Chain A
């Protein structure tokens, strides 16, 4: 069973911020939250990960709630190239990595 739940699809206007939510209400204390994305027919691409603090890199920001039961991936200025399936994963050591169905993000011109 998937440990995370995400909306199946979202639209975002080009140039606007894309906010992708993820619920991981059963996350344990040592599980990190990872985000990957997959552009059609390519291998998944790592975006960002975090444990409990908010994180930012050149691609995106990750906001994790204080209780760690949910998080939001923020793409600050979405472009057409950000159209992809986004996967939120909660994982820890020696655990089976479970990819849910993800969120299909469509960036609209």
Chain B
């Protein structure tokens, strides 16, 4: 079956602009999580959505937001871009949210965002 699809793969934006990234999870998966990866900070958790509800959020400013649609597809938005937002943004989907049980996450290839 198809894996997690993230679009676009590469993006260049200017400081102050906003950007929207998209993630299509594996068919049947209802949980989508987003991560930011930079050389200095490593992989950092942004937020998790399950059934269109944000279940958990990492320590990122309010400029970072997301949403999930009824078909489980998710988008994340970053407003007022800063140079430090340049990173690889990864999306992961899981069959269920992590609620008292185990479930592995399947990651997409990521969107490489460069802010200039």
A101 to B40, CA, bound (A): 10
The residue from B56, B59, B101, B110 contacting A43, defined by CB atoms under 8 A apart: B110
Name B43-67 residues within 8 Å CB distance of A: 43-45, 48, 55-56, 58-59
Binding stretch for chain A, among B11-19, B69-77, B78-86, B92-100: B92-100
A26 at the interface (CB under 8 A from B): no
A30 to B99, CA, bound (A): 10
The residue from A32, A45, A97, A100 contacting B102, defined by CB atoms under 8 A apart: A32
- A residues less than 8 Å from B100 (CB atoms): 30, 93
Q: A44-B107, A94-B56, A95-B56 are in contact. Are A100 and B99 (CB under 8 A)?
A: no
Number of A interface residues in the complex (CB < 8 A): 24
User: From DSSP, what is the main secondary structure of chain A's interface residues?
Assistant: loop
A102 to B37, CA, bound (A): 13
Which A positions have Cβ atoms within 8 angstroms of B? 30, 32, 34, 36, 42-46, 49, 51, 87, 91-102
Q: Can you show 21 pairs from A to B with CB atoms below 8 A apart?
A: A32-B102, A34-B104, A36-B105, A42-B109, A43-B4, A44-B90, A44-B107, A46-B104, A46-B106, A49-B102, A87-B43, A91-B98, A92-B98, A93-B97, A93-B98, A94-B55, A94-B56, A94-B99, A96-B45, A97-B33, A98-B45
